[in-house]
Structure 1
Amino acid sequence: MNARYLTFDTPLTFMSWGERIIVGFIPHEQGVTVEVSCATKGMPNLMQNGRNRKIIKQFIDALSSIVQVNGVEVIAS
């Protein structure tokens, strides 16, 4: 597969546990699928899940406005 990945890290601060955001661009016949994941770099925290989902949504919304295509969030089960 000819996928490309970008990784972003946020620092550990008073307001953040320090997140690692991974964005994958996976080409296929119909276009490109963008996969976004966000996880805490340090100790896992159940309270962090809401913040991770918010970061993913912000990224999808920003990318959607750039490429002028509506993003669809799919949650892994």
Structure 2
Amino acid sequence: VVPLNISYHSLRDRIDAKLSRSTNISLSDRTPNQVKLKYLDEDDYVSIQSDEDVQSAFETWREQRGETVGGMGEIELFCQ
């Protein structure tokens, strides 16, 4: 669970911490097993590399689900 205003770096760090528990992949560009964080918009995977991208992912999620700003839900992110 993360706040809707989470920064890209905070989100990346939290996901990396979870990935490190069971894999050797990372979102960090300093590792040989680097993957990219993405979200699904329609049929396209869109990379998340900045605070603006994180907000776009949340906005897309809200539009697809018809959720309001204060709503709770689950956004699906992908590591590729």
TM over 0.5: no
Q: Which has the larger radius of gyration?
A: 1
Structure showing greater relative contact order (alpha-carbon pairs closer than 8 Å, 6 or more residues apart): 2
TM-score by length of 1: 0.30
Greater share of residues in helix: 2
Greater share of residues in strand: 1
TM-score by length of 2: 0.30
